[in-house]
């Protein structure tokens, strides 16, 4: 089908010419020039209205500077890492009777209980690994918070 065959069909809204229209930019332009509904539609475009005051307030309330967006996840991740490290340190220094008892009772089943001291303090690479994992967790938490966190909605009602 060529353009002169397709145009009467297109003007009549016959879908038989759609395949031609899909490949023919000239017929698309021709249709737009011919179609009176476009002028009617354009004339109905609403005039601009002033932006509502709540829009500005909502944006200003919801906006958080990029640098500050890192503060919350970093502080939370840091606090969690410090808590974990402090707990492990406390347990390793003051191995409680409970842990010792648990180790003795678990020996037949688990073949012995390695306390945190054995696991970490006597093993420097374990401590370094824990610190590295904590840092990695903090970084991942911050990255996810930044990438996936949606802006807070603060529209004034």
Partner 1 sequence: MDVNRSELLDEPQALVLLKSGDRRGVEALLELHQKEVYNVALRMLGEPAAAQDAAQDALLRAFMRIDLYRQGEPFGAWLHGIVRNRCIDLLRIRSRGAAAYPVQPSAVPDAESNAIRNLEAQGVRRALSRLSPRDRALLLLRYWEDRPLDEVAGTLGLSQGAARVALHRARRALAGQLSTMETGA
> Taking a C-beta distance cutoff of 8 angstroms, is the pair 28, 21 a contact?
yes
Torsion of CA 11, 14, 16, 20, to 10 degrees: 20
* 111 forms part of the interface with partner 1 (CB under 8 A): no
CA distance 105 to 76: 36
Site string for partner 1, 127-156 (x = CB under 8 A): ------------------------xxxxx-
- The SS3 of residue 154 is coil
* 68 forms part of the interface with partner 1 (CB under 8 A): yes
* 46 forms part of the interface with partner 1 (CB under 8 A): yes
CB atoms < 10 A from the CB of 122, how many?
Answer: 13
Of the pair 42, 94, the CB lying nearest partner 1 is at 42
* 1 forms part of the interface with partner 1 (CB under 8 A): no
Of the pair 37, 124, the CB lying nearest partner 1 is at 37
Q: Which of 10, 16, 5 is nearest to 32 (CA)?
A: 10
* 88 forms part of the interface with partner 1 (CB under 8 A): no
* 109 forms part of the interface with partner 1 (CB under 8 A): no
* 104 forms part of the interface with partner 1 (CB under 8 A): no
Q: Which of 26, 1, 25 is nearest to 14 (CA)?
A: 1
CA distance 37 to 31: 11
Tokens representing 147 are: 């990438």
Among 16, 38, 110, 135, binds partner 1 (CB under 8 A): 38
Site string for partner 1, 5-34 (x = CB under 8 A): -----x--x----x--xxx-x--x--x---
CB atoms < 10 A from the CB of 74, how many?
Answer: 15
* Binding site residues, partner 1, CB under 8 A: 10, 13, 18, 21-23, 25, 28, 31, 35, 37-38, 40-52, 54-56, 58-60, 62-69, 151-155
């Amino acid at each position: 089908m060529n353009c002169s065959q397709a145009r009467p069909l297109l003007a009549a809204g016959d879908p038989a010419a759609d395949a031609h229209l899909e490949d023919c930019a000239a017929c698309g332009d021709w249709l737009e020039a011919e179609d009176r509904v476009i002028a009617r539609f354009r004339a109905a475009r609403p005039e601009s209205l002033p932006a509502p005051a709540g829009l500005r307030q909502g944006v200003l309330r919801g906006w958080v500077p990029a640098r500050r967006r890192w503060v919350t996840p970093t502080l939370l991740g840091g606090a969690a890492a410090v808590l974990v490290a402090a707990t492990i340190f406390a347990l390793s220094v003051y191995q409680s009777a409970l842990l010792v008892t648990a180790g003795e009772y678990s020996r037949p089943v688990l073949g012995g209980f390695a306390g945190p001291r054995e696991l970490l303090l006597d093993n420097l690479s374990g401590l370094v690994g824990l610190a590295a994992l904590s840092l990695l967790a903090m970084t991942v938490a911050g990255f996810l918070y930044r990438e996936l966190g949606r802006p807070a909605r603060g529209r004034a009602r």
